Amino acid sequence: MAETVNATIRELLDSTLETMQALLEASDPELPMPSSHVCAQGKDAWALITNDIDHEIIHSGQVHEGRYEARITQSPMARLIAEWFEERSRFIGGLVGLSDEEFNSETEEGEWTYRAVAKHVLLVEQDSLKTLASDRAQRGAA
As to burial, measured by CB atoms within 10 angstroms (0-12 exposed, 13-18 middle, 19+ buried), residue 25 is: exposed
> What are the tens digits of pLDDT across the range 74-107?
999 999 999 999 999 999 999 999 999 999 999 9
When computed from its CA atoms, the radius of gyration of the chain, rounded to whole angstroms, is 20
Q: Which residues pair with 106 in a beta bridge?
A: 113
Q: Report the predicted TM-score, pTM, of the whole model to 2 decimal places.
A: 0.87
- For the cut 90, the answer to whether the pLDDT of residue 142 exceeds it is no
Cβ atoms of 114 and 103 within 8 Å: the answer is yes
Dist CA 51 CA 49 (whole Å): 5
Q: Which pLDDT does position 3 carry in this prediction?
A: 94
- For the cut 90, the answer to whether the pLDDT of residue 21 exceeds it is yes
Classify residue 75 by its DSSP letter: P
Sign for the CA dihedral angle at 64, 65, 67, 68 comes to positive
Mean pLDDT of 59-74: 97
Q: Which pLDDT does position 80 carry in this prediction?
A: 96
> What are the tens digits of pLDDT across the range 27-46?
999 999 999 999 999 999 99
Long-range pairs of 25-31 with CB within 8 A, sequence gap ≥ 24: none
Q: Which pLDDT does position 1 carry in this prediction?
A: 83
Write the single-letter amino acid at 76: P
- For the cut 90, the answer to whether the pLDDT of residue 10 exceeds it is yes
Dist CA 70 CA 88 (whole Å): 28
- For the cut 90, the answer to whether the pLDDT of residue 141 exceeds it is no
Q: Which pLDDT does position 104 carry in this prediction?
A: 98
Domain ranges in the chain are 75-142
> What are the tens digits of pLDDT across the range 100-128?
999 999 999 999 999 999 999 999 999 99
72: left (phi over 0), alpha (psi -120 to 50) or beta: beta
